Amino acid sequence: MDILISEDLRHPAFDRLAGKFSTVMDATLWKNDAGLQSRVSEARVLVVRNQTQVTAKLLEAAPRLIGIGRVGVGLDNIDVAAASRLGIVVVAPLNANATSVAELALGLILALARKIPAADQSTKAGGWDRRSFTGIELDGKVLGVCGFGRIGRMVAGRARAFGMRLVVFDPFLKEDSPALAAAGAALCPRLEDLLGHSDFVTLHLPLTPETHHLLDARRFEAMKPGSYFINTSRGGVVEESALMAALQTGRLAGAALDVREVEPPAARTAFETLPNVILTPHIGAFTAEGQQRTFEAVADDLERLLTGRPAVNFVNMESPKR
């Protein structure tokens, strides 16, 4: 077997690959640890999104594996260090979805500011209660951007067009960074400083041991009273119980979550009952354009690896070492 796809990843780009290489797609294989380990032992490349847990144990059971294709941005479900140690290329087109995610983040900011979902539901139910849906303008408000990679910078550029003032937290940036100057943004060395000054806070951080539950009860207590919180990065960056408490006590005016700690959530929570919370099912990357770019980039790189050529969108090495 050349290609093993362990999730529901149907796309014409992969159909093209299947016409050239022996391919198996099992949409539920990610749920079956034993079955996944058995099948991956036969594969030359493995294709996943975010449900398959690509652990060191799994990779060590795959002696023929030369590459992993990640259809998406986050790498928290792949042990990249183990893949590198074993000489396996990890492919992930990290910029393919950036525009899609940035636009969703801005859309959620607007939806929170103008109470669009609640106004829509009320009007469809026969109401015409204009006063209850009095919102706020973005012009002149402070947007705190946590994480100033490609997506964070794109959000900042779009927010600036709405007249928002920008502050940034990113431990990898320095105050004289050209990216900050280009965005007209000020750097906050401490996360608490950004939280205390921002009317809106948007997260664009990877999930790592260092960022897990970075936004906890102490950090939410540091947020400006009446501010709004948006997360389109990774659910694990946020301690959900702490966020829920901040919303229920009125510390925050609202929140929008495209990502959750457990996806899909195992059970309903208070988030689903709060009118000032917007929930979407991890759709940041799900635009026609973003998906096309992502699938095509992964398919192209997997074909390169399977035909002995170096990958383009690699995150650890361009060619396999095994």
Task: List the one residue out of 319, 322, 294, 316 whose CA is nearest residue 304.
Answer: 319
Q: State the number of CA atoms in the 13 A half-sphere of 287 facing the CB.
A: 14
Q: Annotated catalytic, 213?
A: no
Q: Cα 59 from chain centroid?
A: 24
Residues in the chain, how many? 322
Asked if residues 200 and 230 have their Cβ atoms less than 8 Å apart, the reply is yes
Q: What does the block give as tokens for 215?
A: 């936004």
The catalytic position among 11, 114, 251, 282 is 282
CA dist 268 and 246 (Å) reads 18
Exactly one of 103, 192, 221, 263 is catalytic; which is it? Answer: 263
Complete edge-to-edge strand list for the sheet that includes strand 277-279: 185-187, 165-169, 142-146, 200-203, 227-231, 252-257, 277-279
CA pair distance 23, 14, nearest whole angstrom:
9
Let me know: does 276 contact 270? Beta carbons within 8 Å: no
Q: How far apart (Å, rounded) are the C-alpha atoms in residues 292 and 57?
A: 32
Tell me if residue 56 falls in helix, strand or coil. Answer: helix
- Is 282 an annotated catalytic residue? yes
263 is catalytic: yes
Q: Which among 44, 234, 260, 304 is annotated as catalytic?
A: 234
Give CA 312 to chain center in angstroms: 21
- Residues serving a catalytic function are 234, 263, 282
